[in-house]
A and B are shown apart, each in its own frame.
Chain A
Amino acid sequence: MPPCVVFGANLALDKHEKEAQMKRLAYLLVTAAIVLLPIAGSASPALNNLVIGATQEPSNLCPWEGAADTKENVMGLFNIGLTYFDSEGVLRPGLATEIPTEANGRLVVYRNAEGTIVGQEVLWTIREDAYWSDGVPITSADAVFTFKVQNTPEMLVTTRAFSGLIDRVEAVGEKSFRIVYKSPNLFYAAVGGAIGLARHYDIAPKHIWEPIYDQVMAAIAATPESTTEIIEGQFLGAPPSTGTGTVVGSGAFKLAEWQINQFIRLTRRDDFFLDPPGPVANYLDEVTVRFIVAQPTLLSGIIAGEIEASDDIGLAGLDPDILAAQLGAVGTVEVTPSGFIEKLNFNLFPECQEAVDLLLGDKRTRQAIIQAIDRQDLATTVYPGATVSNSFVVAGDIGYDDTLNQWEYDPAAASATLAALGWADTDSDGILERTTDDGREIEFRLHWVATTADFRIRTGEILQEFLADVGIRLEVENLPGSVVFASEYINHGSECSYRGIFEYAEAGGIGQAPADPLSNELWANELLESPVDAILENVPLPANGFGGTNMTGWINAAFDQLRADALQEFDVVKRAEIVKQMQQIYNEELPTVPLYDRVETVAKATGLLNFTKGTAAARTQFWNAWEWGWEQNGAVAAR
């Protein structure tokens, strides 16, 4: 064992040992110099660059496989769709020359004798000045190829919800293409709705992906039993998908570097067709997105100045006022609607005896519960900045009905309603009881399940207090999201997987984009097939293999009919009026108790302009990267 220097020990050091000590000290000083050198040499980031802190990283860059959620925000930096939503919720043409409508003749709708839409055709024209980031023009051939891959049965595509409505995509010249739908598609103009890619864009580069596609299909033809391995290895694992090879996009920036689990770095393209409000030189040259999973680390990086902007979920749950105080002069805080509504979903399945015993199927019970909760207090406490919701549409949306019953906090009214239903605290233990028709004594013990997110844990505690005041004992259960959102759980309400309330959030819109597919979890019967059948496609029951998204099991024929009517109405204003009628039914029946419209808190450095989230329908924060810039560098506000 080599001798060690033990400072302070009564050990005599001879001449050789002293020399060894000096050498060690020298090594330490050199190392310190190397460590400190970057500090001495580093300066503030150049004002034409931006470092964003994001909490989620894309899985891959494959156009056909992925998730159109916040993980894909980054994709919006180097790809743009045929259209995009601006910050006011107005749909604007992106790659397309104009948005197809019946008025401009690009949307042709086919109706049967009853007036029901049975098909439609949409003609798109790509801009003449639209190029891929490697300089190749974007053409109709790219669109045709994109659909070809999307429609190949062997291919791994995430969803065929919209591409399954397409009969064919055909080129009409070099820049135009026609999509012929065999079923109505309300979302034809929104990002991800045209051809149906599960991404924030619509068209993939044929010249990059066709050789890969051909190779994969040939391999599958040779060894069909290895289809999964071939697709995983050669398609999903192809260099353009993993970012290890040439990555070509249609957006304002191009991929320069992707260090997996660390950052993505992008540089501005010279040939992008949308310009910022002013000389391009005054706007960002480079954007780096750093992936940071822990909120405290993200916040520290922002306050320390290492990160100049956050994504729209990294700072969720933080009080905007406190955050602003922490940032001080370093930056500002922006609070915007997320488009998601936090709500309590009741188990209304008649097959779940426990839910039946609690009379959850009676709307008066649900009305009593909503009145027993001070939702304003709840929202303020657990989700600062959020506003109380009374609908399945977010407030401020064009289709939001502002005449709805506000269901004010009124525990006295709640107690009276419960008493009228036969509940009473007969044993004075603070919990209501009642006797069922078959003579059983039931206590009002309400099972509540949610994920382990901090704000939901806190929500459970607060709800316990409110409901205890009216004699309801809330039995809280917080489980990991991967457990409660597993199909074995969330789709089995009829088997009492959750026995009372399941709290989570859902997008609340009126069907402007695939992101808000119009009361996704409240309808039961589609009513759009011909002839109409009585099958409840959307209610998870044994008969349909527990498929569907109506986790409450709520069935309302009038609601379903209005929804079917709305899905046939391409005029947004007219559709909004139909959805308002749906909201009236919902507001009375309350199959779910809406708690609050969630908000997104974004921090950004002082001087950063035009870094503003788009609407909920857009589902991407990075919708206008070409306009981002520093005021200090001559950038101006775009709107």
Chain B
Amino acid sequence: MLTYLIRRILQIIPTLLVISLVLYGLLALKPGDPIDELRRGNPGFTQADYDRLREFYGLDKPWYVRYWKWLGRVVRGDFGISRQFGRPAAEYIFQYRFPNTVLLSGLSLVMAFLISVPTGVLSALRQHSAVDYVITVGNFIGVSIPIFWLGIMLIYIFAVHFRGFMPAGGLATPGVTGTWAILGDRLRHLVLPVIALSSLQLAQWTRFMRSSMLETIQLDYVVTARAKGLRERRVVFGHALRNAILPLITLIGLNVPLLFSGAILTETVFNWPGMGRAIFDAILVNDFNVAMVSLMFISLLVLTFNLLADIAYALIDPRIRYG
């Protein structure tokens, strides 16, 4: 197992290198550069200004020359400056964006997990009952409703219609002071976006859990456990669920990296300053440094969580061993 772990970790480095080359090349292919933003915002901008700034930022060099220079800085821990905000790109992402995404996506994941597991189990145990049908219909609705529409509806109902009951968006209310007041304010701002973001996962994972549980409770060892007279709670949670949840864990492990990059719709609707929106904006305005550090981080997350999912699998299922 240790050998396997070391091998997998070492494989991450060349993989990331190739990914960085591909990402940088793709970004360079996109028409335009950061200077275009300045030109659009300054009517008096001259061609001389344009040429001067392109030379200053090294944009007059071929993309592979720029990539080599970027790589040289990255290995020294310098991910460059965000041309949007004048701050180090890594600082901008990890200080101002990443924590917000962890908060939103983390809570959404936890909420979806905590609800989908028992709901899926209940739906499986009460198959073909009214409870099962209600949960199933709810799942289909959750899968069908676009997140951005749900978000807008939540805002309309709880912020506009019931004016002031919930915030209409944002991370926090400016000017709130006091520890408990700040905590409460932050939680209030999280309620609606977490509900919106977790809706699709919750629906999907509930269905997944239900299917997995249905398959598991029909297996011989579960029938045997019941026949032995074990309490139903022990049969379900002690035996069946442990096996039924394995595929869900794999699924969650593979989905976690996406949570950090794929919440752009929720972030836009709720004006949540997270990584999804940061990546999108950075690509649009050609802020290469922010785009690269974000995309590389997502890549690292994908590779890492793939590895963690494999490890978790081995821990939960003693039959699985890596050499």
Q: How large is the interface on A (under 10, 10 to 19, 20 to 34, 35 or more residues)?
A: 35 or more
Task: Answer yes or no: A595 CB below 8 A from chain B CBs.
Answer: no
- Choose, from A359-367, A377-385, A417-425, A509-517, the stretch at the interface: A509-517
The distance from the CB of B119 to the nearest CB of chain A, in whole angstroms, is: 9
Asked if A543 CB lies within 8 Å of chain B CBs, one says no
Residues in A whose Cβ lies below 8 Å from that of B187: 31, 34-35
When each residue 212-252 of chain B gets 1 if its CB lies under 8 Å from chain A and 0 otherwise, what string results?
Answer: 00000000000000000001110011000110010000000
Interface: A10 (CB within 8 A): yes
Interface centre among A7, A38, A232, A516 (most CB of B within 10 A): A38
B184 within 8 A of A: yes
Q: Are A39 and B242 in contact (CB under 8 A)?
A: no
How far is it, in angstroms, between the C-alpha of A483 and the C-alpha of B126 when the chains are bound?
55
A198 at the interface (CB under 8 A from B): yes
Is A59 touching B84 in the complex (CB atoms < 8 A)? yes
Check B38 against A515 for contact (C-beta < 8 Å): no
Please name all residues of chain A whose beta carbon is closer than 8 Å to the beta carbon of B37 when the two chains form the complex. Answer: 67
Question: Which residues of chain A are near B242, meaning CB under 8 Å?
Answer: 1
Q: Which of A71, A228, A301 contacts B41 (CB 8 A)?
A: A71
CA distance A62 to B81 in the complex (A): 15
In the docked arrangement, what's the CA distance between A257 and B172, Å?
A: 14
Instruction: Please tell me if A4 contacts chain B, counting CB pairs below 8 Å.
Output: yes
Interface string of B135-177 (1 = CB under 8 A from A): 0000000000000000010011001100111011111111110
Are B241 and A300 in contact, with the CB atoms below 8 A? no
CB within 8 Å of A: which B1-34 residues:
30-33
Do A300 and B168 have beta carbons less than 8 Å apart?
Answer: yes
Residues 208-251 of chain A, each 1 if its beta carbon lies under 8 Å from chain B, else 0 = 00000000000000000001110111001100011000000000
Instruction: State A323–B31 Cα separation when bound (angstroms).
Output: 37
Question: Is A499 an interface residue, CB under 8 A from the partner?
Answer: no
A305 x B164 contact (CB < 8 A): yes
Q: CB < 8 Å: which of A42, A67, A293 contacts B42? A: A67
Whether the Cβ atoms of B273 and A10 lie closer than 8 Å is no
**Contact flag A161-B44 (CB < 8 Å), given A31-B187, A304-B164:** yes
Give A31's nearest chain B residue, CB to CB.
Answer: B187
Whether A547 and B118, one on each chain, are in contact in the complex, defined by CB atoms closer than 8 angstroms, is no
Q: Which of B48-56, B197-205, B298-306 contacts A (4 or more CB under 8 A)?
A: B48-56
Binds A, one of B102-110, B264-272, B307-315: B264-272
Number of inter-chain CB pairs below 8 Å: 239
B207: CB under 8 A from chain A? Answer: no
- Bound Cα distance from A160 to B43, whole angstroms: 12
B268 proximity list for chain A (CB < 8 A): 293-294, 297
Q: Which of A147-180 contact B (CB under 8 A)?
A: 156, 158-162, 164
* CB-contact partner of B56 in A68, A71, A228, A489, under 8 A: A228
With A8-B131, A297-B271 in contact, do A515 and B43 touch (Cβ < 8 Å)? yes
Q: Do B156 and A300 touch across chains, with their CB atoms under 8 A apart?
A: yes
Is the beta-carbon distance between B86 and A304 smaller than 8 angstroms?
A: no
Min distance, Cβ B277 to any Cβ of chain A, angstroms: 7
CA distance in complex: A421, B271 (Å): 54
CB–CB A517/B43 < 8 A: yes
List the B side residues contacting A279 at CB < 8 Å: none
Partner of A485, one of B32, B164, B171, B233: B32
Select which of A242, A483, A485, A515 is within 8 A of B86 by beta carbon.
Answer: A242
Q: Which of the residues A6, A38, A265, A488 comes within 8 Å of B181, measured between beta carbons?
A: A38
Chain B: CB-nearest residue to A51: B174
Interfacial chain A residues near B48, Cβ < 8 Å: 160, 164
In A366-408, which residues have CB < 8 Å from any B CB? none
Which residues of A sit under 8 angstroms from B39, Cβ to Cβ? 485, 487
Cβ of A482 and Cβ of B284 under 8 Å apart?
yes
A247-305 residues with Cβ-Cβ distance < 8 A to B are 257, 259-263, 265, 286, 288, 290-294, 296-297, 300-301, 303-305
Q: Is the CB of B44 within 8 A of A517?
A: yes
Q: Is the CB of B86 within 8 A of A59?
A: yes
The answer to whether B86 touches A38 (Cβ under 8 A) is no
Question: Contact partner of A67 among B40, B175, B185, CB < 8 A?
Answer: B40
A11 interface neighbour in B83, B84, B232, B277, Cβ under 8 Å:
B232
Q: What chain A residues lie within 8 Å of B231 (beta carbons)?
A: 12
- The answer to whether B284 touches A480 (Cβ under 8 A) is yes
Output the nearest chain B residue to A538 by Cβ-Cβ distance: B47
A341 → B minimal CB distance (Å):
13
Partner of B122, one of A9, A72, A294, A544: A9
Residue B57 at the chain A interface, CB threshold 8 Å: yes
When distances are taken between beta carbons in the complex, the residues of chain B under 8 Å from A304 are 159-160, 163-164, 168
**Once the chains bind, are B81 and A236 in contact (CB under 8 Å)?**
yes
Report the separation of the CA atoms of residues A297 and B169 in the bound assembly, to the nearest whole angstrom. 7
Contact across chains for A39 and B188 when beta carbons are under 8 A apart:
yes
Known: A3-B233, A520-B43. A482 touches B36 (CB 8 A): yes
Q: Name the one of A38, A158, A232 contacting B176, with C-beta atoms under 8 angstroms.
A: A38
Q: Would B168 and A301 count as touching, CB distance under 8 A? A: yes
Interface: B65 (CB within 8 A): no
The distance in angstroms between the C-alpha atoms of A31 and B47, with both chains bound, is 59
For A259, list chain B residues within 8 Å (CB): 171-172, 174
Question: Do B122 and A8 have beta carbons less than 8 Å apart?
Answer: yes
> Chain A residues near B71 (CB, 8 Å)?
none
A65-83 interface mask toward B, CB cutoff 8 Å, 1 = contact, 0 = none? Answer: 1111101100000000000
Known: A31-B187, A262-B172. 5 other contacts (CB 8 A): A12-B231, A262-B174, A293-B268, A305-B163, A487-B36
Question: Mind listing 19 A-B residue pairs with CB under 8 Å?
Answer: A3-B237, A9-B122, A11-B232, A59-B85, A67-B42, A68-B41, A156-B56, A158-B49, A159-B44, A198-B42, A228-B57, A229-B78, A242-B85, A259-B171, A297-B169, A301-B168, A516-B43, A520-B43, A548-B47
